[in-house]
Chains A and B, each alone.
Chain A
Amino acid sequence: EAGVTQFPSHSVIEKGQTVTLRCDPISGHDNLYWYRRVMGKEIKFLLHFVKESKQDESGMPNNRFLAERTGGTYSTLKVQPAELEDSGVYFCASSRNRGTGELFFGEGSRLTVL
């Protein structure tokens, strides 16, 4: 089966611009997670979808970040307007079972804000 895919793998934008990251989970995985790793720091939880519903968005840093998962399939994470501190690697993961199940990760989208 196809794994989790993320697009783009790398994006370089200027402060104030908008970027949209996309994640395609493994087919049949209802749970979709977004994480972010800022350089030198830990991998931090952003939010969790169950199908198309936001189960937990407590990790979203501020209202410049908007995540959607229309139809419960792929998800997008939009940053608008981007700030310098948004630079980092954004990981998407999916799982079949909540809590005890293995997370399957994409290779990440590296965002650089200049």
Chain B
Amino acid sequence: AQSVTQLDSHVSVSEGTPVLLRCNYSSSYSPSLFWYVQHPNKGLQLLLKYTSAATLVKGINGFEAEFKKSETSFHLTKPSAHMSDAAEYFCVVSDQTSGTYKYIFGTGTRLKVLA
């Protein structure tokens, strides 16, 4: 079965510094991978997705992620953090191994941005 591991439950950065949120996955097939963000009391919003096209994926709000098959990683980065980036981030893999289609979530990384 496919799975996702988010290596950090909490990350703190200063405003204006780079953001790195780590995600590793396991998959028997070519995976589809996603990053979602959830701001307090809001629904989850798609930041970006990888579906076997370009390995460097650009998303909204300056975020990007690189699919590295050899490392089974899909880390999320942003060159310069903004206060509004403070939220919880989820790495998601699409599971098609059983012939059905469920999206498997990581445990989430809570990003704190310090002024």
Q: If the complex has contacts A43-B90, A48-B100, A56-B100, are A102 and B106 also in contact, measured as CB distance less than 8 A? A: no
Whether A48 contacts B102 by the Cβ 8 Å rule is: yes
As a 0/1 sequence over residues 71 to 89 of chain B, the CB contacts with chain A under 8 angstroms (1 = contact) are 0000000000000000000
Contacts of B100 in A (CB 8 A): 48, 55-56, 58
Q: What is the chain A residue whose CB lies nearest that of B100?
A: A56
Asked whether A62 is an interface residue with its Cβ less than 8 Å from the other chain, the reply is no
Q: What is the chain A residue whose CB lies nearest that of B32?
A: A100
As a 0/1 sequence over residues 78 to 114 of chain A, the CB contacts with chain B under 8 angstroms (1 = contact) are 0000000000000101000011101111111000000
Q: If the complex has contacts A42-B108, A102-B34, are A107 and B41 also in contact, measured as CB distance less than 8 A? A: yes
Task: Among B43, B92, B98, find the residue whose CB has the most chain A CB atoms closer than 10 A.
Answer: B43
Q: How large is the interface on B (under 10, 10 to 19, 20 to 34, 35 or more residues)?
A: 20 to 34
Whether A33 contacts B34 by the Cβ 8 Å rule is: no
Contacts of B106 in A (CB 8 A): 42
Q: What is the chain A residue whose CB lies nearest that of B38?
A: A105
Among candidates B90, B101, B105, B108, residue contacting A55 with C-beta atoms closer than 8 Å:
B101
Asked whether B44 is an interface residue with its Cβ less than 8 Å from the other chain, the reply is yes
Whether A4 contacts B107 by the Cβ 8 Å rule is: no
Can you add 20 more A-B contacts, CB < 8 Å, to A91-B44, A99-B101? Answer: A35-B105, A41-B107, A43-B90, A43-B108, A45-B104, A45-B105, A48-B100, A48-B102, A55-B100, A56-B100, A59-B102, A91-B43, A93-B44, A99-B94, A99-B96, A100-B51, A103-B92, A105-B36, A105-B43, A108-B43
